[in-house]
Structure 1
């Protein structure tokens, strides 16, 4: 499978990303779209990953700039956990451990296939400073190895104006739990 968009698909995605960027200036104060688009055009596989985020209802938007790495940070900014990335257990090991009623995929496998990084708990909490996300859903986040070795995985949500972190068995999956990702460009 080609991980590049056609010229037309690229232009459509860039137009949509620019419109979202301009509509949500509070998420990326001081950033210049022309510099971002230049980076995007120079990285076709990153554009493909952003298109994957968009096609799964993630609504990616720029939320920051990492001066150390000279990268712009695109994160899923959909109000709820992306619809096209729900009902997934945490990783391949968890998926393989299910004897019946297996979900279609796992979070880590799908993120890898899309070329995106699963948010850490810290990144998830930072995102919440830019708006109210996951008020009805929850999102898996990167799980520390210590917890994963014991069979667990962690997820977060936003209830009662508070960000909560919880745990579940990594093999569990729910219709209202998905995951949010990041692309660095």
Structure 2
């Protein structure tokens, strides 16, 4: 499925997604203290497009979970909470410009286009650091993060990981890709 060809999830897919999200929500209450699943589910029930995006996050290995609520908008904030960078989103360069710049050995896709097709945003550095306060993520993998324009214009892109009990931000050429690097996303519902 691509963003332009989205459809409502089948009743079975919808039921399975909501059950999976509820179990994860209940298992990881430290990620969203004070929030109630019934209210989250009501928002999900009312938004076909956001359900589809969460389904795509789940399908690609992201294990999305609620990490907060925007008190101004009332939106629930989901992040990919898989222990390692989502398996179905690895081996991608940063963006389309980087993909097109490669002459040989091009990856199949790029992080920015994949995120857009899924209807999600790539985590920023700040969001990545917030995620790391909820657990130890990317101890064996790394994840592209939204790169500031001035760095991207010079050909670079940023990625993060956790090593030695410390969260690191690194740089690479935006056209690079590795089997252990993917991206994590966020979604507001």
TM-score (norm 1): 0.99
Name which of 137, 141, 144 aligns with 1:133.
137
Q: Which has the higher mean CA deviation after the structures are superposed, 1-10 or 52-61?
A: 1-10
Give the drift of 1:6.
1.5
CA distance in 1 between partners of 2:144 and 2:177 (Å) = 10
CA distance in 2 between partners of 1:2 and 1:120 (Å) = 26
Q: Hey, what does 2:174 align to over in structure 1?
A: 170
Q: Hey, what does 1:155 align to over in structure 2?
A: 159
Q: Hey, what does 1:54 align to over in structure 2?
A: 58
Aligned residues: 185
CA distance in 2 between partners of 1:69 and 1:125 (Å) = 22
Q: Counterparts in 2 of 1:1-185, with a 5 A limit?
A: 1-185=5-189
Native 8 Å contact 2:94 2:110 kept in 1: yes
Native 8 Å contact 2:21 2:65 kept in 1: yes
Consecutive unaligned residues in structure 1, runs of 5 or more: none
**Secondary structure of the corresponding residue to residue 109 of structure 2:** coil
CA distance in 1 between partners of 2:184 and 2:22 (Å) = 20
Give the root-mean-square deviation of aligned CA atoms: 0.6
Consecutive unaligned residues in structure 2, runs of 5 or more: none
